[in-house]
């Protein structure tokens, strides 16, 4: 069984560079249901970017983030699992975040989507390589 994205994720995905959209569509086909993710941020406007900088969620001010390009060249995600009743629950465990990151990167490599190397301080983040047009 594969994953599916909810309406908020779909809205964020629609703001992304076509290569990132292609990656996320392939992830939806290949990732098992227990690797569920939600795309929490695609494009980020000036106020949101500066707030992310102020709170430490970003190291860059507007307009220097890959989130500030149109279409956005980066996305952030949240991980979800299931509780004993089968309901989705957000996962904050770094191992779960890194497993999903690794799976997405493996799929990206397989389909030829070039990504920037993992940003050590921002693990639930995926970004296109700088030389991708």
Peptide bond preceding 63 in cis form (omega within 30 of 0) = yes
> Residue 75 domain-assigned?
yes
What pLDDT, on a 0 to 100 scale, did the predictor assign at position 15? Answer: 98
pLDDT tens digit sequence for 71-121: 999 999 999 888 899 888 888 888 888 899 999 999 999 999 999 998 777
What's the CA gap between 66 and 88, in Å, rounded?
A: 29
> Residue 26 domain-assigned?
yes
Distances (CA, A) of 36 to 3, 20, 109: 6, 17, 20
> Residue 23 domain-assigned?
yes
Angle at 113 between CA 122 and CA 99, to 5 degrees: 45
Distance of CA 119 to the CA centre of its chain: 12
> Residue 133 domain-assigned?
no
Tokens of 98: 């890194």
Higher confidence at residue 36 or residue 69?
69
What's the CA gap between 47 and 86, in Å, rounded?
A: 37
SS3 62: coil
What is the model's pTM?
Answer: 0.92
What's the CA gap between 36 and 94, in Å, rounded?
A: 15
What is the span of the domain harbouring residue 84? Answer: 7-127
> Residue 59 domain-assigned?
yes
pLDDT tens digit sequence for 17-57: 999 999 999 999 998 877 889 999 999 999 999 999 999 99
CATH number reported for the structural domain that contains residue 18 in this entry = 3.30.1380.10
């Amino acid at each position: 069984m594969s994953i599916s994205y909810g309406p908020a994720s779909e809205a964020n995905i629609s703001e992304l560079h076509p290569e990132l959209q292609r990656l996320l569509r392939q992830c939806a086909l290949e990732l098992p249901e227990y690797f569920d993710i939600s795309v929490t941020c695609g494009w980020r406007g000036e106020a949101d970017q500066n707030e992310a900088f102020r709170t430490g969620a970003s190291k860059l001010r507007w307009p220097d983030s890959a989130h500030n390009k149109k279409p956005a060249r980066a996305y952030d995600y949240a991980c979800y699992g299931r509780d004993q009743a089968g309901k989705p629950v957000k996962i904050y465990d770094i191992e779960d975040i890194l497993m999903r990151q690794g799976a997405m990167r493996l799929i990206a490599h397989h389909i030829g989507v070039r990504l920037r190397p993992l940003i050590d301080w921002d693990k639930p983040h995926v970004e296109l390589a700088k030389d991708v047009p």
